[in-house]
Amino acid sequence: MDNSLLVSLSQQLAAFRAMDVIANNLANVSTPGFKREASKFEEYIAHVRPAEDQKGPQTVSFVKDAGVLRDSIQGNIERTGATYDLALTSKGYFQIQTPAGMRYTRDGHFSLDANGNLVNSDGYAVQGDGGGITIAPIDGDINIAPDGTVSSVVNGVGNQLGKVKVVDFANDSALTKLGANLYSTSQQPTEPASVNMHQGALESSNVQPVIEISHMIEVMRAYEATATLSKSQEDLMRQAITQLGTQPN
């Protein structure tokens, strides 16, 4: 009898967690390079003592977290007009050197630091083919080609300043999220088959509000249903206690 309450409880905890994931998706609806996540649950089968009139082993299924899946589908491209904003439209990640090691991101909002190095919004160096990329004020108008080549034209002479590096991984979903739009991994980066980026734009978050809101309603109703179930279970218990506990006269 207690099991039904515990099974309900496991579902309610799962609903809370699903709600947290949806809330995080909706909170990041304007975060560039953000990839929506979906919580996935699995059955956890527990064996229980069979009831008096039943034969064979009895099982109940609890809900258990299986994982949070990342949907790595391409986000929309939003134009910003800023020279160093890069929207990646191919698979892969930009490489960022942080004091804690190499990090990866799809958020291409970059700018220059006081020494003219190309950095991300936390001031960490964006990696090019040969380390960081440095741009001097004298370089004038900067052009970043779809393959990541950074160049400028000074006095009519083309000048290549570096190439923004894009790397890919065998298993995208095993990248660890660190916040600040960064990922880390112990996997070895691989060379992507093709690289395509747009200057002056950012890849917006791929969260689709319609889907999130409908999931939210679904989770809310499932929670409600379980709460009602628990309540009827509780009523049953109460009735049992009142009826059985009454002293026969």
Partner 1 sequence: MRALSIAATGMQAQQTNVEVIANNLANMNTTAFKQQRAEFTDLLYQNIQTPGSQTSDQGTYAPNGIQLGAGVRTAAVYRVTTQGDLQSTSNPYDVAIQGPGFFRIQQADGTDAYTRSGNFSLSPQGQLVTQDGLVVQPGVAIPQNTLSVSINAQGQVNATIAGNTTPQTVGQLELTRFPNEAGLNAVGNNLYLETPASGSPQAGVPGSAGYGKLQQGFLETSNVNSVDQITALISAQRAYEMNSKVISAADQMLQQTSQMGQ
Q: Is 194 in the site for partner 1 (CB under 8 A)?
A: no
Angle at CA 76, nearest 5°, toward 75 and 77? 120
Among residues 74, 89, 90, 112, the one that binds partner 1 under rule CB under 8 A: 112
Q: Is 1 in the site for partner 1 (CB under 8 A)?
A: no
Q: Give the residue with the Cβ less far from partner 1, 51 or 138.
A: 138
Q: Give the residue with the Cβ less far from partner 1, 56 or 156.
A: 156
Q: Is 140 in the site for partner 1 (CB under 8 A)?
A: yes
Tokens of 90: 């191919």
Angle between helices 209-245 and 2-27 (to 10 degrees): 160
Q: Are 155 and 138 in contact (CB under 8 A)?
A: no
Only segment of 31-39, 42-50, 125-133, 189-197 that touches partner 1 (CB under 8 A)? 31-39
Q: Are 12 and 226 in contact (CB under 8 A)?
A: yes
Considering only residues 159 to 188 of the shown chain, the ones binding partner 1 according to CB under 8 A are 171, 173-181, 185-186
Q: Is 37 in the site for partner 1 (CB under 8 A)?
A: yes
Total residues in contact with partner 1, by rule CB under 8 A: 72
Among residues 90, 132, 230, 237, the one that binds partner 1 under rule CB under 8 A: 230
Q: Is 24 in the site for partner 1 (CB under 8 A)?
A: yes
Backbone angles phi, psi at 208, to 5 degrees: -105, 110
Q: Hey, is 219 helix, strand or coil?
A: helix
Angle at CA 233, nearest 5°, toward 232 and 235? 60
Q: Is 116 in the site for partner 1 (CB under 8 A)?
A: yes
Considering only residues 82 to 111 of the shown chain, the ones binding partner 1 according to CB under 8 A are 82-83, 107, 109, 111
Q: How far is the CB of 76 from partner 1 (least distance, A)?
A: 11
Q: How far is CA 244 from CA 5, 178, 231, in A?
A: 21, 56, 20
